[in-house]
Chains A and B, each alone.
Chain A
């Protein structure tokens, strides 16, 4: 195992499996610590909002979940596309592994949005551009999962999924800019890269801590699922055989 590490090294499922196994304990630790810190700042340091009272505290999970839902979709489309173009099955496996976590964060964004909309706007749901396009994102994730799992030939499933993912990625900028392009019930961006954030420093800190916590969480859970999918896909390969035999030996 003295081969040099290149950017293609972890395209080998066995090497990817080892990398994920080495990183995962750290990712879980980071996710846990950042969550504790984010919730502490969010509930005990950040002040009560002048107009929304305590209801605004939903922002600390709502915005990070919404960001992750879009980011993970782009990551899914990227890896699915790369797997298709370069014929790298680990990239396609990674895309498959991202989908359920992306769908989860999309659902969380919609759910917490409903629970935030009810006390502040008086409605759980409205068919405005931001909410509708986020709902479409959920359907894109579910459609991708249904498509790739319904095709028995893995490689054909990967290709069909990649096509859906790439075409669907048009929806991500629509979600992001919807509050600017249309008159929406949903408020505009609170944080942007070009302007000073329109919120108190401690509120912003809590939101960023939760964002990085969700990020670490997403990496860890996607790696775990990618390991499972790689094992299933390569069940007859030597590296899986060695791994499964090692796991059966008494310690």
Chain B
């Protein structure tokens, strides 16, 4: 175990800004991208549904 307390963990021996600045941005982007991709797929499915409703051939 590397850390005695939560504050030690957050501080990262003075490198907190760099470690969490890296991990924070990475996590944010890797949560955002799947959310956007799923929204894209839902929109595509919805668009296809309206197209086929207008043109029921």
Contact = CB atoms under 8 A, between A and B. Distances in A.
B53 to A, nearest CB: 8
Contacts, number: 108
Contacts of A236: 51
B33 A221 contact: yes
Nearest to A60: B23
Given A116-B18, A231-B48, A244-B52, A108 B37 contact: no
Interface string A29-53: 0000000000000011001100001
Given A47-B2, A112-B22, A221 B13 contact: no
29 contacts: A28-B34, A47-B2, A48-B2, A48-B13, A53-B15, A54-B12, A54-B19, A55-B18, A57-B12, A57-B19, A61-B26, A100-B33, A101-B33, A104-B29, A107-B29, A115-B18, A118-B18, A220-B34, A221-B34, A225-B41, A227-B44, A228-B40, A231-B48, A235-B47, A244-B48, A244-B52, A245-B49, A247-B45, A248-B49
Interface in A204-251: 217, 220-221, 224-225, 227-229, 231-232, 235-236, 240-241, 243-245, 247-248
